[in-house]
Amino acid sequence: MDVLLTSTAEAFRLLFSGNPEIWEIVGISFRVSSMAILAAVPPALVIAFTLAYGSFPGRRFLISLFNTFLSVPAVVIGLTLFIILSRQGPMGDFKLLFTQTAMGLGQFFLCLPILVCMAHVSLQAADRAAWETARTLGANRLRAFFTVLYEIRFGLMAALLAGYGRIISEVGASMMLGGNIAHYTRNIPTAIALETSKGAFAEGIALGIVLLFLAFVLNSLLQYVQGKGSINP
């Protein structure tokens, strides 16, 4: 109990004394995860839309497949990409292993299934009439696509937050692909793992507090968005 209290007190001191190293780690986390999710949104939307509105053989199979990907452990994605990006792997020439790009790629594949599945569910729940109406009123397919996306914007926002929440707190893939290099690929979760292994619990807790605070902000945002999307007057 004593360790917990003193470590937490020390953690707050670290955070608010403007310790540059901690804030640098926080910055790297946000930059990499934001890039990853921004890159994942467009393909996820297209895939979800195709799954919901398309009719082609293997559609149901693909839906099951993406749902299955929801439960892939992060380290498995990490290991697969590690092998692909390693110099002896098929994409070894690009020298991507142990870079922020590699870390971002791992997070991209981690959040993609979440975005696809949640967007797909939203599309399924939405009225197909939005699409039909837009088309009848002369909108082209792209325009109609955006009309439908607007209809399900609250569901999409929730998908975005869920996806972001997963990748910003993920340690396994980031550790394998980024290598936890100081000032470069050390993000919040890998730094927590490192500080814990060094026995520096205060730093670990300080970073944990930042993550918790972020989770709180994300959830409040979600609450706010869903509040506006209420069906009550």
Instruction: State the nearest-atom distance from the C-beta of 229 to other proteins, in Å.
Output: 35
**How close are the terminal C-alpha atoms of the chain, in Å?**
49
Binding-residue total with other proteins (CB under 8 A): 28
Tokens 């394998």 map to which residue? 176
Minimum CB distance to other proteins, residue 36 (Å): 11
Alpha-carbon separation of residue 39 from 32, 33, 169 (angstroms)? 11, 10, 18
Counting contacts by CB under 8 A, is residue 179 touching other proteins? yes
Residue 61 CB burial class (10 angstroms; 0-12, 13-18, ≥19)? exposed
- Min dist CB 21 to other proteins, Å, is 10
Distance, in Å, from the CA atom of 121 to the CA atom of 155, rounded to the nearest integer, reads: 8
The piece of 22-30, 97-105, 133-141, 164-172 that touches other proteins (CB under 8 A) is 97-105
Residue tagged 């814990």 (tokens):
196
Q: Could you give the string, one character per residue 59-88, with x where binding to other proteins holds by CB under 8 A and - elsewhere?
A: ---------------------------xxx
Does position 96 interact with other proteins (CB under 8 A)? The reply is yes
Q: Which residues contact 3 (CB under 8 A, 6 or more apart)?
A: 201
- Residues forming the site for other proteins (CB under 8 A): 3, 86-88, 91-101, 105, 179-182, 184, 194, 196-201
